[in-house]
Structure 1
Amino acid sequence: MTAIEGKFGFLPAPVALMSESPELLQAFTRSNALFERSTLTELEREVLVLTIATRNACHVCVALHTASLTRAAAPAELVAALRARQPLTDPRLDAIRVFTLAVLDTAGGVDEEQMRAFLERGFTRRNALEVVLGVGTYTLSTFANRMTEAPLDPPFAPFAWEGAA
């Protein structure tokens, strides 16, 4: 938890709540560290996470990852589209959004056409498996945040999300 405090300058409430199960917290932090080392770019990973967060209606993850994208100077229209669960104008980023939703909706049983569409945007089979890693990691986080009714920490309040209209 010290590393998380160092990253944010404080211990986020969702992490504190998750720590009630040290095993869950450890699973999330280790899995997230592996996900961050994947071959997906930082922007691609954030698109994936925000896609999962909106789909799973996790207000905490949406706000936190909106803040991350904002700090990374991501285009405002990209962030707005992700938060609204709308298609993205960048075909490659939209491919990861669509593929992430397909992985979630089919419990990993994507069909040949869905895989082909993902690969045709320059992704690899390794990237497809890294999407599974991201889905697993952020399913842990979004489910735990919802179950514990994790509050939004004040630094993330400007990025609050009530859900897609």
Structure 2
Amino acid sequence: MEAVTRNLGHLPPAVARLAASPHTLDGFLKLSALFEQTTLDPLAREVVIMTVASRNECHVCVVMHTGKLHKLGADDELIAAVTEQRPLCDERLEAVRQFTLDVLATSGGVGDEGLRAFFARGFTSQNALEVVMGIGTYTMSTLANRLTRAGLR
């Protein structure tokens, strides 16, 4: 929790609530740090996160990652679309969003057509597995935040 406070300048209540299980908090922090190191570009990573957060109705995650998207230079339309679970105007980022949804809907059993659509936008097999990593990491976070009734304050 000290590292999170140093990094963000404060301790988000969601992190404090997650600390009720030190193992869960440690696992999430390690996995999210590893996800940040993947070969997916920062906007693509945030689309994965926001797709999971919106789908799982984790309002605290949506707010936190909206701020991150703004810092990355994402426009309001992209943020609104991913939050409202609408197709994105950026075809490459839409491929990430759709692939994320396909992985979730099929429990990883994405069909050949879905894989081809993802790869056609320049993504790789490595990126596909990194999306799975992001889904796992942020599914843990969103479910824990909802379970603990985490809020912004």
Structures share a fold, TM > 0.5?
yes
In structure 2, stretches of 5+ residues that fail to align are none
Task: Decide whether the 8 Å contact of 2:95 with 2:118 is kept in 1.
Answer: yes
Give the match for residue 95 of structure 1: 95
Summarize deviations over 1:43-77 as a string: whole Å, max 9, x none: 11011100110000000100000011112221111
Q: Count the aligned residue pairs.
A: 153
Report the alpha carbon displacement of residue 81 of structure 1 after superposing the two structures with TM. 0.7
| Structure 2 CA distance for aligned equivalents of residues 39 and 56 of structure 1 | 25
Give the match for residue 128 of structure 2: 128
User: What TM-score results when the alignment is normalised by the length of structure 2?
Assistant: 0.97
Amino acid corresponding to residue 30 of structure 1 in structure 2: K
Summarize deviations over 1:104-133 as a string: whole Å, max 9, x none: 111111111111110111000000000000
In structure 1, stretches of 5+ residues that fail to align are 154-165
Three-state SS of the structure 1 residue aligned to 2:121 is: coil
Three-state SS of the structure 2 residue aligned to 1:66 is: helix
| Structure 2 CA distance for aligned equivalents of residues 46 and 54 of structure 1 | 12
Q: After TM superposition, list the pairs within 5 Å mapping 1:1-165 onto structure 2.
A: 1-153=1-153
Report the alpha carbon displacement of residue 96 of structure 1 after superposing the two structures with TM. 0.1
| Structure 2 CA distance for aligned equivalents of residues 105 and 93 of structure 1 | 18
Task: Decide whether the 8 Å contact of 2:99 with 2:118 is kept in 1.
Answer: yes
Using the aligned pairs only, state the percent identity: 53
Report the alpha carbon displacement of residue 3 of structure 1 after superposing the two structures with TM. 1.7
| RMSD across aligned positions (CA) | 0.8
